[in-house]
Amino acid sequence: MSELTTVARPYAKAAFDFALEKSAIEKWHEMIAFAAAVANDEAMATFLSSAETLEKKVDVFINVCGEQLDDNAQNFVRLMAENGRLKALTAVEKLFSEFRSEHEKEVTVDVTSAVKLTKKQQENLAETLEKRFSRKVKLNCSVDAAIVSGLYIKAGDTVIDGTVRGKLDRLTHALQS
């Protein structure tokens, strides 16, 4: 996957810069997400790996996408196809999403707790995390009964382990040192 990310980064950056210049970030995000979904379709993936000519593959791919892609997005897909990079569309969409979040000063935070958080708890947590990260926070909450108590918070590379299990593990490690 890291190879696809490396391949996808320049395409995602170029698409994002173009979308930013045209003030169409949301529209471009939707178009790239749609194209990535088409590329991930099993029948389309089989067709793209067939012995058909590149021109036929591109024409079929763009026809399947139909009016979901404007002329500029069709040219973007055509360029990726000419360079043999359609398999990287999912990674392009992911990176485009990251660029968008960075631009909009937004961070997605995964929160795992032992019990479902109330609306008020989610609001308080989001407010606290917004202060910590200096960004708008979007919470993805999930429940894992194995946590017992506390929260496990992950935002990008930042992990905050406030679970009882995490505290016990750190205490055990400190006592053994």
Could you report the per-residue pLDDT of 36-82, keeping only the tens digit for each? 998 888 888 888 777 678 888 888 888 888 888 888 888 888 888 88
For residue 124, pLDDT over 70 is answered with yes
In whole numbers, what is the pLDDT of the chain averaged over residues? 87
Specify whether 48 is located in the same domain as 23: yes
List, in sequence order, every residue forming a beta bridge with 113; answer none if it has no partner. Answer: 143, 151
Specify whether 88 is located in the same domain as 110: no
Q: In the structure encoding, which two tokens stand for residue 69, read together?
A: 């892609």
List, in sequence order, every residue forming a beta bridge with 158; answer none if it has no partner. Answer: 155
Specify whether 91 is located in the same domain as 122: no
Specify whether 22 is located in the same domain as 54: yes
| Per-residue pLDDT, 51 | 65
Strands across the sheet with 151-155, in order? 136-143, 106-113, 151-155, 158-161
Last residue of a domain, one of 102, 127, 153: 102
| Per-residue pLDDT, 5 | 79
- Measuring CA to CA, which residue among 39, 111, 101 is closest to residue 69? 39
List, in sequence order, every residue forming a beta bridge with 153; answer none if it has no partner. Answer: 111, 160
**Domain range holding 111?**
105-176
Last residue of a domain, one of 83, 102, 121: 102
Q: In the structure encoding, which two tokens stand for residue 142, read together?
A: 């999930």
- What's the pLDDT band for 154 if we cut at 50, 70, 90? very high
pTM: 0.64
Dihedral (CA of 161, 141, 92, 47) sign: positive
| Per-residue pLDDT, 106 | 81
